[in-house]
Each structure stands twice: as structure tokens, then as C-alpha cells.
């Protein structure tokens, strides 16, 4: 199964693609779709959508796993993150991918073993679980962590979606 992990954000959405065969994981690719901060919101959302469609087309994912949004103290930031997350879900849905959603704590627990792990611990475990891969950036590391969590937990979560 080819899993596309996504860590939504308006400024930068991390993506990571793995292949999962039972307990074996293989790295296909990772990166970040960035949007220009000075651009109008609608243009940023369009750029995010186009970038994700390109990633989905290039890697032929069979399923998408998306990290759930947490609520910020700043309502404006939360709203923008929610809009970016909507674009992420739309891109996956337009590609006819089943979508699984995971809470941040569950992803950390599945990858690191503890739900309160920090970003450095997640990054280190992702590189350990995908030997030989040097992950560039925390957004991509988080996206790969979501994909790995889905590989470990996801089959049962998607049974009702197909």
C-alpha cells in the first residue's frame, strides 16, 4: 500500500510518501508545499492545491493520512489552518483517495511510543524507521510520521471508508 502522509499548514504543508508491505516500510519521497506569505489567501490556497495534486500524481498514492488540526490561542491562525486543511482534504478527495485522520498525540504514540514526544524525537524516529533517509524539514518529518502511523494503525480505520 502506498500511503501519502500530510501535515497541513498554510505557509507550509508537509508531505511524505511511503510504501507499506506488512511491517516493512519503504520511503518513496517527501517534501513541503510552500505558499508565498505575501500572496492573497485565495492564491495561497490554490498554490497549495496545485502542489498537492502534483505530489499525488507523481507518487500514485493509494490512501491519504492527514494530521488533525489542533486549536491555537489565535483564532485567525486557527481559521487559516482550517482553510489549508480543507484544501488538503479536497485534493485527496478529488484524487479519489480514501482519507484517514489522526490526532497528533496518536501519531506521536505510534511512531515514538509516547504521545507527548517533541518534534526532534519524531524526526529522529522517522529517520530510524526509514533507514538511509535524511528527512529535510520538520513539516516533511511530521507528514512521514502520519504516513507511518497509518501503516501501523490504519487498516482498521479505513475499513468503513472503501
Tell me the pLDDT band of 161, cut-offs 50, 70 and 90.
very low
Q: What is the dihedral of CA 17, 22, 24, 30, to 10 degrees?
A: 0
Tell me the pLDDT band of 90, cut-offs 50, 70 and 90.
very high
Summarised one tens digit per residue, pLDDT across range 11-34 is 999 999 999 998 899 999 999 999
User: Domain limits of the chain?
Assistant: 2-158
Residue 139 a catalytic site member: yes
Catalytic residue among 19, 43, 67, 101: 67
Residue 70 reports pLDDT greater than 80: no
Catalytic residue among 7, 43, 50, 101: 7
Q: What is the mean pLDDT of the chain?
A: 92
What CATH class is the domain 2-158?
alpha beta
| Cut 0.85: pTM above it | yes
Amino acid at each position: 500500500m502506498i500511503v501519502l502522509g500530510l501535515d497541513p499548514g498554510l505557509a507550509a504543508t508537509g508531505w511524505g510518501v511511503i510504501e507499506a508491505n506488512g511491517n516493512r516500510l519503504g520511503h518513496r519521497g517527501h517534501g513541503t508545499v510552500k505558499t508565498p506569505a505575501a500572496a492573497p489567501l485565495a492564491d495561497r490556497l490554490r498554490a497549495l492545491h496545485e502542489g498537492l495534486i502534483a505530489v499525488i500524481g507523481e507518487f500514485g498514492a493509494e490512501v491519504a493520512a492527514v494530521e488533525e488540526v489542533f486549536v491555537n490561542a489565535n483564532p485567525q491562525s486557527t481559521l487559516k489552518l482550517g482553510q489549508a486543511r480543507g484544501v488538503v482534504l479536497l485534493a485527496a478527495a478529488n484524487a479519489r483517495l480514501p482519507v484517514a485522520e489522526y490526532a497528533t498525540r496518536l501519531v506521536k504514540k505510534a511512531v515514538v511510543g509516547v504521545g507527548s514526544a517533541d518534534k526532534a524525537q519524531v524526526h529522529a524516529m522517522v529517520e530510524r524507521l526509514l533507514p538511509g533517509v535524511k528527512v529535510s524539514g520538520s513539516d516533511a518529518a511530521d507528514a512521514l510520521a502520519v504516513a507511518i502511523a497509518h501503516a501501523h494503525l490504519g487498516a482498521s480505520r479505513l475499513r468503513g471508508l472503501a
